[in-house]
Each structure stands twice: as C-alpha cells, then as structure tokens.
C-alpha cells in the first residue's frame, strides 16, 4: 500500500459514502487454476490492499469488509489456520501504513475465539489508528448479522431488567446504539463478488436501504476498477428510501 494521493475536489468535502463488500470467490478462483484454496485466500489478501487503496482514491469514507463469518470456523482446519495467518500478516505488515495514510481500522464481531496474539494485534491497530479520518476501514471477523442483533437485544433487555431503560423507550436509535459500531453510518452500497446474489448474514440491520451490486469477478481479481464500476452503477440508481420518485 504505497502513499495514496487525496482525491481532488473544488466542491468542499464530499458526503459520507459507505461501501460494504462480501469478498467471495477465493476458493473458486484457486480451483479454476488448479491451486489449493489457501492460495486463493493469499491472493484475496492482495485484493484487500488494492481495494483499500482504491477506496481512498475514489473518495469512499467508510469501507466494511466481510473477512470471516461466524460460520467459517466449520471450514477445514488448514484453511482456517491460513486465514488466521493472513490476518496476522496484514495487521503486522500494514499497521504503519494505515497509521501514516490516515486510515482508521476497527474490527466488529465476537472476539472470544481468536488467539491472544491476534487480539493484541487488533487492539493495537485500533488504538494506533483510532483518530484517523481519511478512511474508516472496518473488518467483520467472527461476525454474523443475526448474532449482532441478538447481542443488541440482550443488552437492551439487561438495561430494562436493571431499571436503566423503559421498554416503551426502545426504538431504532436504541437498537443502533447497541450494535458493534453504533457510530458507523449505514452502507450506501453492498457489493458481492464472484457472481453470487445473496447477503449471507452480513450487516442485516444496517443494509435495510443499501443498493446491492453483484460483480461477476471473483474476489482475488477485484480492484480499484471494479470498485469504480460498482460505484458508477450505484450512483446511476434512483434511491427513494420508500418515497415516490419525482
């Protein structure tokens, strides 16, 4: 991730733009080339770096990547081990660059299944980049959308039981405040690679009004050009949020 020049604009700061991506197709990309699935994940890690760089160039303010779902623990031990190893490499190798380039990194999801060294790397990255504002990069790890909503409901129930919250006061804002990243704006566009057309339990609450863009390219081939094309498609749509268009 070399130095990224800031996008040029004479119109003042742009509106926040949140892009969420389901990174799909690593295994199929590898299989089509006669490679092990783990090689697809290694190539996919390179696509993450290219996409982060592209997001900054294209003026994206928030980028959320589905890195590892709570269901992914069911995969073969070798594959899970490779994914954890790549996570370690990314956090160690790119920490200084994220800090230097003004990119804030944070992780959402349940952290109880990660090893102590990975937890330390995550916490260090979040601490060192916490004040950065150029790009808010969120990686969902051991994450499930339903589990996040259940977790929020449990927190609200506990607040009611303790007398700190009235059931009648629970509204969408209260639920949002109990999510993993309550300050994160809802995604404007959700991209899924590799031609699959489903959301796979990702950001179920947050994508209520997101535009869905499905890209045929597998994740290891994804980069700035694909992101730019997806954003062009998004901007060409008429977003009505339930209202009638004029």
How many whole angstroms separate alpha carbon 101 and alpha carbon 95? 10
Q: Which residues form the catalytic set?
A: 24, 72
- Rounded to an integer, what is the distance from CA 66 to the centroid of its chain? 5
How many whole angstroms separate alpha carbon 215 and alpha carbon 234? 12
List the one residue out of 169, 139, 140 whose CA is nearest residue 156: 169
pLDDT of 197: 96
Domain boundaries, the chain: 18-235
Binding region for substrate: 25-29, 37, 41, 69-71, 73, 75, 192, 198-200
Contact in structure between 214 and 196 (CB atoms under 8 Å): yes
pLDDT of 1: 61
Contact in structure between 40 and 26 (CB atoms under 8 Å): yes
Binding region: 24-29, 37, 41, 69-71, 73, 75, 192, 198-200, 211
Q: Count CB neighbours of 123 within 10 A.
A: 12
* CATH class for the region spanning 18-235: alpha beta
- Could you report the per-residue pLDDT of 143-154, keeping only the tens digit for each? 999 999 999 999
User: Bridge partners of 64?
Assistant: 20, 138
Q: Phi, psi at residue 78, to the nearest 5°? A: -60, -40
How many whole angstroms separate alpha carbon 30 and alpha carbon 34? 6
- Could you report the per-residue pLDDT of 46-89, keeping only the tens digit for each? 999 999 999 999 999 999 999 999 999 999 999 999 999 999 99
Q: Which stretches in the chain have pLDDT values below 50? A: 12
List the one residue out of 67, 202, 234 whose CA is nearest residue 137: 67
pLDDT of 16: 76
Strand order of the sheet with strand 62-69? 103-108, 135-143, 62-69, 18-22, 189-192, 211-214
pLDDT of 47: 96
Contact in structure between 234 and 210 (CB atoms under 8 Å): no
The secondary structure of residue 7, as a DSSP letter, is: P
How many whole angstroms separate alpha carbon 219 and alpha carbon 23? 5
């Amino acid at each position: 991730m070399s130095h990224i020049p800031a996008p040029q604009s004479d119109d003042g700061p742009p509106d926040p733009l949140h892009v969420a991506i389901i990174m799909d197709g690593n295994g199929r990309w590898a299989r089509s080339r006669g490679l092990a699935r783990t090689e697809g994940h290694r190539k996919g890690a390179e696509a993450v770096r290219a996409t982060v760089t592209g997001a900054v160039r294209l003026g994206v303010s928030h980028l959320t990547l589905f890195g590892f779902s709570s269901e992914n623990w069911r995969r073969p031990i070798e594959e899970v081990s490779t994914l954890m190893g790549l996570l370690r490499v990314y956090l160690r190798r790119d920490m200084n660059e994220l800090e230097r380039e003004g990119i804030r990194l944070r992780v959402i999801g349940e952290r109880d299944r990660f090893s102590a060294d990975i937890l330390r790397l995550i916490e260090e990255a979040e601490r060192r980049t916490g004040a950065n504002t150029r790009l808010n990069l969120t990686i969902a790890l051991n994450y499930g959308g339903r589990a996040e909503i259940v977790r929020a409901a449990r927190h609200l129930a506990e607040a009611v039981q303790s007398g700190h919250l009235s059931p009648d006061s629970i509204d969408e804002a209260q639920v949002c405040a109990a999510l993993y990243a309550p300050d994160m704006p809802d995604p404007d566009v959700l991209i899924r690679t590799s031609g699959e057309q489903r959301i796979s339990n990702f950001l179920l609450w947050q994508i209520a009004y997101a535009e869905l863009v499905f890209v045929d390219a597998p994740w290891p081939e994804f980069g700035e050009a694909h992101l730019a094309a997806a954003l062009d498609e998004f901007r060409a749509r008429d977003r009505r949020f339930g209202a009638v268009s004029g």
